Amino acid sequence: MQLISEIWNTVIIEPMINSLVILYSLFFNNFGLSIIIFTIIIRGIMIPLTVKQSRQIREMTLLQPKLKELQQKYGKDRQKISQETMRLYKEHGVNPLGCLGPMFIQFPIWIGLYQALIKTLPSTPEKLIDLSGYLYYWMPKVNEIIPINSGFFWLDLAQPDRTPLLPILVGVSMWMMQKMTTIPSADPKQQSTNQMMLWMMPVMFGFFTISFPSGLALYWIISNIAGIVIQGFVTGWAPLSSIRTKPVQPQTTDNNENILKEDQSITDSTGEENNGEKDRNESKNKRRSNRNSTDRTRRKSRRSNNRNN
Protein backbone atom coordinates (compact mmCIF):
# COMPACT_ATOMS: atom_id res chain seq x y z
CA MET A 1 0.00 0.00 0.00
CA GLN A 2 2.84 2.33 0.89
CA LEU A 3 4.51 1.50 -2.43
CA ILE A 4 1.33 2.41 -4.32
CA SER A 5 1.14 5.65 -2.38
CA GLU A 6 4.76 6.47 -3.20
CA ILE A 7 4.25 5.72 -6.90
CA TRP A 8 1.09 7.82 -6.92
CA ASN A 9 2.90 10.72 -5.27
CA THR A 10 5.93 10.48 -7.55
CA VAL A 11 4.05 10.06 -10.82
CA ILE A 12 0.97 12.20 -10.27
CA ILE A 13 1.06 14.46 -7.22
CA GLU A 14 4.62 15.82 -7.28
CA PRO A 15 4.64 16.81 -10.97
CA MET A 16 1.27 18.50 -10.52
CA ILE A 17 2.26 20.40 -7.39
CA ASN A 18 5.51 21.58 -8.95
CA SER A 19 3.77 22.58 -12.18
CA LEU A 20 1.32 24.67 -10.17
CA VAL A 21 4.20 26.26 -8.27
CA ILE A 22 6.10 27.07 -11.49
CA LEU A 23 2.99 28.56 -13.09
CA TYR A 24 2.45 30.61 -9.95
CA SER A 25 5.94 32.09 -10.26
CA LEU A 26 5.50 32.70 -14.00
CA PHE A 27 2.08 34.33 -13.74
CA PHE A 28 2.58 37.23 -11.36
CA ASN A 29 2.49 35.12 -8.18
CA ASN A 30 -1.24 34.70 -8.72
CA PHE A 31 -2.43 31.24 -7.77
CA GLY A 32 -5.86 31.77 -9.28
CA LEU A 33 -4.24 32.33 -12.68
CA SER A 34 -1.98 29.37 -12.03
CA ILE A 35 -5.00 27.10 -11.47
CA ILE A 36 -6.79 28.42 -14.57
CA ILE A 37 -3.77 27.93 -16.85
CA PHE A 38 -2.92 24.56 -15.36
CA THR A 39 -6.51 23.36 -15.87
CA ILE A 40 -6.43 24.51 -19.48
CA ILE A 41 -3.07 22.74 -20.03
CA ILE A 42 -4.38 19.52 -18.48
CA ARG A 43 -7.54 19.77 -20.56
CA GLY A 44 -5.36 20.46 -23.61
CA ILE A 45 -3.24 17.37 -22.98
CA MET A 46 -6.39 15.32 -22.66
CA ILE A 47 -8.01 16.74 -25.80
CA PRO A 48 -7.40 13.60 -27.89
CA LEU A 49 -9.15 11.54 -25.23
CA THR A 50 -11.92 14.06 -24.75
CA VAL A 51 -12.51 14.39 -28.49
CA LYS A 52 -12.58 10.63 -28.84
CA GLN A 53 -15.06 10.41 -26.00
CA SER A 54 -17.21 13.19 -27.49
CA ARG A 55 -17.21 11.51 -30.89
CA GLN A 56 -18.23 8.22 -29.36
CA ILE A 57 -21.08 9.96 -27.57
CA ARG A 58 -22.14 11.68 -30.81
CA GLU A 59 -21.98 8.48 -32.83
CA MET A 60 -24.02 6.64 -30.28
CA THR A 61 -26.57 9.43 -30.29
CA LEU A 62 -26.75 9.40 -34.06
CA LEU A 63 -27.21 5.63 -34.13
CA GLN A 64 -30.12 5.63 -31.75
CA PRO A 65 -32.98 5.83 -34.29
CA LYS A 66 -31.31 3.15 -36.30
CA LEU A 67 -31.08 0.85 -33.31
CA LYS A 68 -34.69 1.50 -32.58
CA GLU A 69 -35.52 0.32 -36.06
CA LEU A 70 -33.54 -2.84 -35.49
CA GLN A 71 -35.51 -3.48 -32.35
CA GLN A 72 -38.74 -3.03 -34.20
CA LYS A 73 -37.57 -5.12 -37.11
CA TYR A 74 -36.36 -8.15 -35.17
CA GLY A 75 -38.92 -8.04 -32.36
CA LYS A 76 -38.05 -10.40 -29.53
CA ASP A 77 -35.10 -12.09 -31.23
CA ARG A 78 -32.56 -10.66 -28.85
CA GLN A 79 -29.67 -12.65 -30.28
CA LYS A 80 -30.31 -11.24 -33.73
CA ILE A 81 -30.69 -7.76 -32.31
CA SER A 82 -27.36 -8.11 -30.53
CA GLN A 83 -25.64 -9.34 -33.69
CA GLU A 84 -27.10 -6.57 -35.81
CA THR A 85 -26.33 -3.95 -33.18
CA MET A 86 -22.72 -5.05 -32.95
CA ARG A 87 -22.48 -5.09 -36.73
CA LEU A 88 -23.87 -1.59 -36.86
CA TYR A 89 -21.42 -0.40 -34.22
CA LYS A 90 -18.56 -2.01 -36.07
CA GLU A 91 -19.58 -0.36 -39.33
CA HIS A 92 -19.69 3.04 -37.72
CA GLY A 93 -16.53 2.51 -35.69
CA VAL A 94 -18.42 2.81 -32.41
CA ASN A 95 -17.34 1.04 -29.27
CA PRO A 96 -20.29 1.18 -26.87
CA LEU A 97 -17.92 1.20 -23.91
CA GLY A 98 -15.46 3.49 -25.69
CA CYS A 99 -16.52 6.56 -23.74
CA LEU A 100 -15.57 4.83 -20.50
CA GLY A 101 -11.90 4.42 -21.46
CA PRO A 102 -11.11 8.12 -21.50
CA MET A 103 -13.08 8.51 -18.29
CA PHE A 104 -10.92 5.89 -16.61
CA ILE A 105 -7.80 7.73 -17.72
CA GLN A 106 -9.10 11.14 -16.69
CA PHE A 107 -10.32 9.98 -13.31
CA PRO A 108 -6.87 9.62 -11.65
CA ILE A 109 -5.86 12.95 -13.15
CA TRP A 110 -8.89 14.64 -11.55
CA ILE A 111 -8.19 13.03 -8.20
CA GLY A 112 -4.48 13.88 -8.49
CA LEU A 113 -5.18 17.47 -9.38
CA TYR A 114 -7.59 17.76 -6.51
CA GLN A 115 -5.00 16.45 -4.06
CA ALA A 116 -2.29 18.64 -5.58
CA LEU A 117 -4.43 21.76 -5.11
CA ILE A 118 -5.13 20.91 -1.49
CA LYS A 119 -1.46 20.23 -0.78
CA THR A 120 -0.15 23.32 -2.57
CA LEU A 121 -2.36 25.62 -0.51
CA PRO A 122 -1.76 24.48 3.05
CA SER A 123 -4.06 26.13 5.54
CA THR A 124 -2.22 25.03 8.68
CA PRO A 125 1.48 24.80 9.66
CA GLU A 126 1.46 21.00 9.68
CA LYS A 127 0.19 20.98 6.09
CA LEU A 128 2.99 23.34 5.05
CA ILE A 129 5.49 20.88 6.53
CA ASP A 130 3.89 18.16 4.39
CA LEU A 131 4.26 20.33 1.28
CA SER A 132 8.02 20.49 1.78
CA GLY A 133 8.20 16.80 0.94
CA TYR A 134 6.64 17.25 -2.50
CA LEU A 135 8.73 20.06 -3.95
CA TYR A 136 11.50 19.76 -6.52
CA TYR A 137 14.22 21.77 -4.86
CA TRP A 138 16.29 21.85 -8.02
CA MET A 139 13.62 23.97 -9.61
CA PRO A 140 14.45 27.67 -9.70
CA LYS A 141 12.58 29.97 -7.32
CA VAL A 142 10.74 27.12 -5.60
CA ASN A 143 11.94 28.21 -2.16
CA GLU A 144 11.33 31.86 -2.78
CA ILE A 145 7.63 31.65 -3.55
CA ILE A 146 6.47 29.42 -0.71
CA PRO A 147 4.09 29.91 1.00
CA ILE A 148 1.78 30.54 -1.91
CA ASN A 149 -0.44 33.61 -1.69
CA SER A 150 -3.93 32.14 -1.83
CA GLY A 151 -5.81 35.39 -2.52
CA PHE A 152 -7.73 35.68 -5.80
CA PHE A 153 -10.27 38.47 -6.19
CA TRP A 154 -12.59 38.04 -3.20
CA LEU A 155 -11.52 34.43 -2.65
CA ASP A 156 -9.07 32.75 -0.36
CA LEU A 157 -8.32 29.76 -2.57
CA ALA A 158 -7.36 27.64 0.44
CA GLN A 159 -10.75 28.22 2.07
CA PRO A 160 -14.33 27.69 0.92
CA ASP A 161 -16.08 30.64 -0.68
CA ARG A 162 -18.21 32.40 1.91
CA THR A 163 -20.58 33.69 -0.74
CA PRO A 164 -22.97 31.45 -2.70
CA LEU A 165 -21.45 32.60 -5.99
CA LEU A 166 -18.90 29.84 -6.47
CA PRO A 167 -21.25 26.94 -5.59
CA ILE A 168 -23.76 28.40 -8.07
CA LEU A 169 -21.13 28.78 -10.81
CA VAL A 170 -19.93 25.21 -10.24
CA GLY A 171 -23.49 23.90 -10.32
CA VAL A 172 -24.46 25.83 -13.45
CA SER A 173 -21.32 24.95 -15.41
CA MET A 174 -21.68 21.31 -14.36
CA TRP A 175 -25.33 21.29 -15.42
CA MET A 176 -24.45 22.74 -18.84
CA MET A 177 -21.71 20.16 -19.25
CA GLN A 178 -24.10 17.37 -18.30
CA LYS A 179 -26.81 18.73 -20.57
CA MET A 180 -24.45 18.71 -23.51
CA THR A 181 -23.11 15.23 -22.96
CA THR A 182 -26.20 13.28 -21.92
CA ILE A 183 -27.06 10.70 -24.55
CA PRO A 184 -30.78 10.87 -25.33
CA SER A 185 -32.78 7.75 -24.90
CA ALA A 186 -36.22 6.51 -25.87
CA ASP A 187 -36.31 4.21 -22.88
CA PRO A 188 -38.25 5.91 -20.06
CA LYS A 189 -36.16 4.14 -17.42
CA GLN A 190 -32.95 5.34 -19.01
CA GLN A 191 -34.46 8.77 -19.54
CA SER A 192 -35.31 9.16 -15.86
CA THR A 193 -31.80 8.02 -14.88
CA ASN A 194 -30.37 10.59 -17.25
CA GLN A 195 -32.59 13.25 -15.74
CA MET A 196 -31.44 12.26 -12.27
CA MET A 197 -27.79 12.48 -13.30
CA LEU A 198 -28.40 15.81 -14.99
CA TRP A 199 -29.43 17.33 -11.65
CA MET A 200 -27.61 15.13 -9.19
CA MET A 201 -24.08 15.97 -10.29
CA PRO A 202 -24.44 19.76 -10.32
CA VAL A 203 -26.15 19.66 -6.93
CA MET A 204 -23.52 17.32 -5.54
CA PHE A 205 -20.61 19.39 -6.80
CA GLY A 206 -22.30 22.62 -5.73
CA PHE A 207 -22.60 21.04 -2.31
CA PHE A 208 -18.90 20.06 -2.36
CA THR A 209 -18.01 23.66 -3.14
CA ILE A 210 -19.58 24.89 0.09
CA SER A 211 -17.07 22.95 2.16
CA PHE A 212 -14.08 22.60 -0.18
CA PRO A 213 -11.28 25.06 -0.90
CA SER A 214 -12.38 27.56 -3.51
CA GLY A 215 -9.23 26.77 -5.54
CA LEU A 216 -10.78 23.41 -6.29
CA ALA A 217 -14.08 25.04 -7.22
CA LEU A 218 -12.19 27.31 -9.60
CA TYR A 219 -10.67 24.21 -11.19
CA TRP A 220 -14.12 22.64 -11.61
CA ILE A 221 -15.54 25.74 -13.25
CA ILE A 222 -12.66 26.14 -15.71
CA SER A 223 -12.61 22.42 -16.40
CA ASN A 224 -16.35 22.43 -17.11
CA ILE A 225 -16.08 25.43 -19.41
CA ALA A 226 -13.20 23.77 -21.27
CA GLY A 227 -15.25 20.58 -21.51
CA ILE A 228 -18.24 22.49 -22.89
CA VAL A 229 -16.07 24.23 -25.50
CA ILE A 230 -14.47 20.97 -26.64
CA GLN A 231 -17.82 19.22 -26.74
CA GLY A 232 -19.27 22.17 -28.65
CA PHE A 233 -16.63 21.98 -31.34
CA VAL A 234 -16.94 18.23 -31.71
CA THR A 235 -20.67 17.62 -31.49
CA GLY A 236 -22.10 21.09 -31.96
CA TRP A 237 -23.35 23.52 -29.37
CA ALA A 238 -26.85 22.13 -29.04
CA PRO A 239 -27.38 19.51 -26.32
CA LEU A 240 -27.24 15.96 -27.64
CA SER A 241 -30.80 15.42 -26.47
CA SER A 242 -32.02 17.97 -29.04
CA ILE A 243 -30.45 16.06 -31.91
CA ARG A 244 -33.03 14.04 -33.82
CA THR A 245 -30.92 12.39 -36.37
CA LYS A 246 -30.25 9.81 -38.89
CA PRO A 247 -27.09 7.85 -38.28
CA VAL A 248 -23.90 8.72 -40.02
CA GLN A 249 -23.80 6.77 -43.21
CA PRO A 250 -21.27 3.99 -43.18
CA GLN A 251 -19.74 2.52 -46.31
CA THR A 252 -22.74 2.17 -48.60
CA THR A 253 -24.01 -1.31 -49.15
CA ASP A 254 -27.31 -2.44 -50.61
CA ASN A 255 -28.35 -3.78 -47.27
CA ASN A 256 -27.66 -0.53 -45.48
CA GLU A 257 -29.41 1.47 -48.14
CA ASN A 258 -32.45 -0.70 -47.65
CA ILE A 259 -32.34 -0.17 -43.91
CA LEU A 260 -31.98 3.58 -44.39
CA LYS A 261 -34.92 3.60 -46.75
CA GLU A 262 -36.90 1.68 -44.18
CA ASP A 263 -35.83 4.19 -41.55
CA GLN A 264 -37.04 7.04 -43.68
CA SER A 265 -40.37 5.44 -44.34
CA ILE A 266 -40.89 4.67 -40.63
CA THR A 267 -40.00 8.16 -39.51
CA ASP A 268 -42.21 9.66 -42.22
CA SER A 269 -45.12 7.51 -41.18
CA THR A 270 -44.79 8.50 -37.52
CA GLY A 271 -44.77 12.11 -38.60
CA GLU A 272 -42.05 12.94 -36.09
CA GLU A 273 -40.03 14.84 -38.59
CA ASN A 274 -42.74 17.31 -39.54
CA ASN A 275 -41.59 19.81 -37.03
CA GLY A 276 -39.67 22.64 -38.79
CA GLU A 277 -36.94 22.91 -36.22
CA LYS A 278 -36.33 19.18 -36.32
CA ASP A 279 -36.12 19.36 -40.07
CA ARG A 280 -33.48 22.00 -39.78
CA ASN A 281 -31.54 19.87 -37.32
CA GLU A 282 -31.89 16.89 -39.57
CA SER A 283 -30.67 18.75 -42.62
CA LYS A 284 -27.75 20.10 -40.59
CA ASN A 285 -26.84 16.61 -39.52
CA LYS A 286 -27.30 15.32 -43.01
CA ARG A 287 -24.89 17.93 -44.25
CA ARG A 288 -22.44 16.94 -41.52
CA SER A 289 -22.88 13.28 -42.35
CA ASN A 290 -22.37 13.93 -46.04
CA ARG A 291 -19.33 16.03 -45.29
CA ASN A 292 -17.95 13.22 -43.13
CA SER A 293 -18.56 10.55 -45.73
CA THR A 294 -17.16 12.79 -48.49
CA ASP A 295 -14.07 13.40 -46.37
CA ARG A 296 -13.71 9.70 -45.77
CA THR A 297 -14.02 8.97 -49.47
CA ARG A 298 -11.43 11.64 -50.27
CA ARG A 299 -9.03 10.28 -47.68
CA LYS A 300 -9.51 6.78 -49.02
CA SER A 301 -8.89 7.81 -52.61
CA ARG A 302 -5.81 9.77 -51.54
CA ARG A 303 -4.50 6.70 -49.71
CA SER A 304 -5.11 4.44 -52.67
CA ASN A 305 -3.44 6.96 -55.00
CA ASN A 306 -0.44 7.04 -52.72
CA ARG A 307 -0.29 3.27 -52.73
CA ASN A 308 -0.50 3.18 -56.52
CA ASN A 309 2.24 5.79 -56.82
Partner 1 sequence: MTLYLNQINLKITKFKIVLFISLFFLFHASCTTVAQPKGGSVGIINEDTLYTNTSTGQIRALDIISGEEKYKPHWPSDQEISIDKKLDKEDQKYRSLAIYGAPAIWKESLYLVTYDGYLFKLTLDLIEEWREPIGQIISSDNKFVATPTIENGILIIGSSENSLIAFDVENRTKKWTFQTDGPIWSSAYIYENQVYFTSLDKYIYSINLEDGSLAWKFKTEGAISSSPIVHKNKLYVGSFDRILYALNSKSGDELWRFENSKSWYWGTPVIHEDYLFAPSLDGNLYALDINSGKLLWSSSTEGKVVGTPAVINNFIVISSTDKKIRLLKLNDGQQIDICNIGDKIESDIITDNDLIFFSTEDSIRSIKIKQNGNMDEEWDGGHFFKEEQPISSNRIRSC
Task: Specify the residue, 27 or 208, whose C-beta has the smaller distance to partner 1.
Answer: 208
Give the three-state DSSP class for 187. Answer: coil
Cβ-based neighbours of 112, under 8 Å, separated by 6 or more: 8, 12, 13, 16
Nearer to partner 1, 37 or 171 (CB): 171
The reply to whether 144 sits near partner 1 by the rule CB under 8 A is: yes
Q: x/- contact string, 81-120, with partner 1 (CB under 8 A)?
A: xx--x----------xx-xx--x---x---x--xx--x--
Question: CA–CA separation, 220 vs 169, rounded Å?
Answer: 9
Angle at 157 between CA 212 and CA 123, to 5 degrees: 75
At 50, the amino acid letter reads T
The full DSSP string for 212-272 is: S-HHHHHHHHHHHHHHHHHHHHHH-SS-GGG---PPPP-S--HHHHHHHHHHHHHHHHHTG
Q: Which is nearer to partner 1, 69 or 230 (CB)?
A: 69
User: How many residues belong to the site for partner 1 (CB under 8 A)?
Assistant: 56
CA atoms of 78 and 82, how far apart (whole Å):
6
Distance between CA atoms of residues 241 and 218, nearest Å: 28
Find residue 151's DSSP bridge partners: 156
Give the span between the Cα atoms of 23 and 31, in whole angstroms. Answer: 8
- Compare residues 81 and 172 and give the one whose CB is closer to partner 1: 81
Which of positions 175-204 make contact with partner 1 (CB under 8 A)?
A: 183, 185-187, 189-190, 193-194, 196-197, 200-201, 204
Within a 13 Å sphere around the CA of 86, how many CA atoms are in the beta-carbon half?
5
One residue of 2, 211, 269, 306 binding partner 1 per CB under 8 A: 211
Query: Which is nearer to partner 1, 75 or 276 (by Cβ)?
Result: 75
Nearest approach, Cβ of residue 62 and partner 1 (Å): 12
Q: Binding residue for partner 1 (CB under 8 A) from 124, 270, 308, 309?
A: 124
Query: Would you say 179 and 202 are in contact if contact means Cβ atoms under 8 Å apart?
Result: no
60 lies in the binding site for partner 1 (CB under 8 A): yes
Q: Which is nearer to partner 1, 37 or 85 (CB)?
A: 85
Q: How far is the CB of 306 from partner 1 (least distance, A)?
A: 37
CB of 10 to partner 1, least distance (A): 17
Q: Which of 32, 112, 160, 247 binds partner 1 (CB under 8 A)?
A: 160
Decide if residue 164 touches partner 1 (CB under 8 A). Answer: no
Q: Is 242 in the site for partner 1 (CB under 8 A)?
A: no
Number of residues that this document lists for the chain: 309
User: Is the CB of 40 or the CB of 183 nearer to partner 1?
Assistant: 183
CB closer to partner 1, 32 vs 215: 215
Q: Among candidates 239, 255, 245, which has minimal Cα distance to 284?
A: 245
User: Whose CA is closest to 68, among 286, 270, 285?
Assistant: 270
165 binds partner 1 (CB under 8 A): no
| 8-state DSSP, 149 | P
Residues that bind partner 1 in the complex, under the rule CB under 8 A = 60, 63-64, 67-68, 71, 76, 78, 81-82, 85, 96-97, 99-100, 103, 107, 111, 114-115, 118, 122-129, 132-133, 137, 143-144, 146-147, 158-160, 183, 185-187, 189-190, 193-194, 196-197, 200-201, 204, 208, 211-213
